[in-house]
Amino acid sequence: MSFFGKKNKKKEELDASFEKVLNEIQEIDDWNNPQKTVHYILDSCEQIIALTKQIQAQDAEINVLTNYMEDILTIKNLPKNKKDDLYIVAKNLEELDKSKKTYEGKSPPLTDEQFMTLAEDDEGIPDVIKRMQENEKYQSVENKNMRALEAAKSEYEIERDRIMVSNRLLARITMLMAITFMSFLFLFFVIRENVKIDISAYLLVLLFATAVGIFIIFLRSSHNRRKNRELIRSINKTISALNVVRMKYANVTRAISYEQEKYKVTTSAELNYLWDRYVEMVRARDQYAKDNDDYEYFMARLMRLLAKLDLHDKKIWRSQVAAIAHEDIMDKLYHNINLRRKKVKLRKEENLNAVKSERIEIDKMMKEHNYYTPEVLEIISSVDKICGLSAYEMN
């Protein structure tokens, strides 16, 4: 018998009788009759029917709860060997249920797209991670080399610019020396012609100073030309090396970008993290599937063990495994059911008293007003039969 079973035949017949009486009440066409007695009687009959339905439902609930309590006592009073068998199975089910709920309660660390992408090549992912890590290291080295070469090239170019500025300055100094030399030479000849003095010594000093200046400019200019050639060679060499490094950097960057685009990551560390989560998810899913299989096995075993006992309903224990595994939970369950049954019984007694009170009032009203029409008597008789009022004390 199920604790929450379907309506039995008797209850279906009672419901049909209820509907019949209610239909008869509703078909009374003298609701506007000045005499209020019939209205009161008919209203009372409806109240009795409604209360009796509640009593029937409460009887069924009390029966269910009583059966439940009897089943609890049956399990609690089992011989030790049978109780131990139930306990072992229940503990296994409890642990498996916890494991399943732990998995179900976890938010998936990967999206479906990420999981499917990794699953497509799960055997090759470790190699991809290793290759990506090596490429990132190589990319970092080439990036440093590229920056160093670019810095060296910039230094060479700055130094070359300085030499070019120096050459322009030497050209101006040479021009200035030439103008100065010609000016002094002209001045000396003018003085010799007008003053008639010997300017040979002055002319020698001018020639010597001019020669020294020209020599210094020559040396500096030669140094600049030599340095400029060296810088040009260094710049060309640096540019050549820089082009090679840039090509290597571009190639390794393309390789890294391919993996980044394929797996929707930015670094090998991120891909490694996703791979760890993937492995964890696969392991968890496999464990979940195994737990499900084990859970079904132990649940079937529990049902077989309960089928051997004289229980009213063994299926209810599918959701009460913890009570079988823990005696304190079983005791608490029994206590709560007992309290619930007492409350239902109390409500049933209240409804019984209300039914009795309503029926007494109907009889009192009919006697006081001497109102015994065939229609009303037929309805009251039907109500007494339906509600079993003959079983109640009417005095």
The reported pLDDT for the residue numbered 247 is 92
The reported pLDDT for the residue numbered 341 is 92
Range of the domain at 373: 33-78+309-391
**How confident is residue 343, by pLDDT bands cut at 50, 70 and 90?**
very high
pLDDT averaged over the chain?
80
Note the Cα 86 to chain centre separation in Å.
Answer: 37
Structural domain ending residue among the three candidates 199, 229, 264: 264
In a domain, 89, yes or no: no
pLDDT digits (tens, 9 = 90+) for 56-90: 888 888 999 999 999 999 988 889 888 888 899 88
- Mean pLDDT, to the nearest integer, of 11-27? 53
In a domain, 98, yes or no: no
- Mean pLDDT, to the nearest integer, of 313-325? 86
Q: Are residues 176 and 250 in the same domain?
A: yes
Structural domain ending residue among the three candidates 200, 230, 264: 264
Lowest mean pLDDT among 57-66, 114-123, 160-169, 332-341: 114-123
- Mean pLDDT, to the nearest integer, of 380-385? 69
Q: Are residues 141 and 43 in the same domain?
A: no
Q: What whole-number distance in Å separates Cα of residue 332 and Cα of residue 76?
A: 13
How wide is the angle at C-alpha 235 spanned by C-alphas 233 and 240, nearest 5°? 95
Contacts of residue 83, Cβ cutoff 8 Å, sequence gap at least 6: 75
pTM of the model: 0.53
Q: What whole-number distance in Å separates Cα of residue 249 and Cα of residue 257?
A: 12
3-state helix, strand, coil in the chain (%, to 5): 85, 0, 15
Q: Are residues 243 and 316 in the same domain?
A: no
In a domain, 23, yes or no: no
Q: Are residues 195 and 320 in the same domain?
A: no
Q: Are residues 125 and 255 in the same domain?
A: yes
Contacts of residue 132, Cβ cutoff 8 Å, sequence gap at least 6: 256, 259, 268, 271
Q: Are 271 and 128 in contact (CB under 8 A)?
A: yes
**How confident is residue 203, by pLDDT bands cut at 50, 70 and 90?**
confident
Residue 360 has pLDDT above 90, yes or no: no
Lowest mean pLDDT among 31-35, 50-54, 245-249, 250-254: 31-35
Residue 3 has pLDDT above 50, yes or no: no
Residue 105 has pLDDT above 70, yes or no: no
**How confident is residue 28, by pLDDT bands cut at 50, 70 and 90?**
very low
For the chain, percent of residues with pLDDT exceeding 70: 81
- Mean pLDDT, to the nearest integer, of 263-277? 88
- Mean pLDDT, to the nearest integer, of 17-29? 52
Distances 395 to 12, 91, 98, 356 between C-alpha atoms, Å: 31, 57, 60, 9
Which range, 102-111, 117-126, 137-146, is most confident? 137-146
Q: Are residues 148 and 197 in the same domain?
A: yes
The reported pLDDT for the residue numbered 144 is 93
Lowest mean pLDDT among 76-90, 112-126, 210-224, 264-278: 112-126
The reported pLDDT for the residue numbered 99 is 79
**How confident is residue 147, by pLDDT bands cut at 50, 70 and 90?**
very high
Q: Are residues 136 and 188 in the same domain?
A: yes
The reported pLDDT for the residue numbered 45 is 76
- Mean pLDDT, to the nearest integer, of 336-344? 92
Q: Are residues 253 and 138 in the same domain?
A: yes
The reported pLDDT for the residue numbered 392 is 41
Q: How many CA atoms lie within 13 A of 341 on its CB side?
A: 16
Q: How many domains does the chain have?
A: 2
**How confident is residue 369, by pLDDT bands cut at 50, 70 and 90?**
low
In a domain, 299, yes or no: no
Residue 104 has pLDDT above 70, yes or no: no
- Mean pLDDT, to the nearest integer, of 309-320? 86
Q: Are residues 227 and 328 in the same domain?
A: no
Q: Are residues 233 and 127 in the same domain?
A: yes
Q: Are 237 and 120 in contact (CB under 8 A)?
A: no
The reported pLDDT for the residue numbered 140 is 92
**How confident is residue 7, by pLDDT bands cut at 50, 70 and 90?**
very low
- Mean pLDDT, to the nearest integer, of 306-318? 87
- Mean pLDDT, to the nearest integer, of 137-166? 90
Q: What whole-number distance in Å separates Cα of residue 180 and Cα of residue 186?
A: 10
Q: Are residues 61 and 130 in the same domain?
A: no
Closest CA to 94 of 282, 329, 313, 310: 329
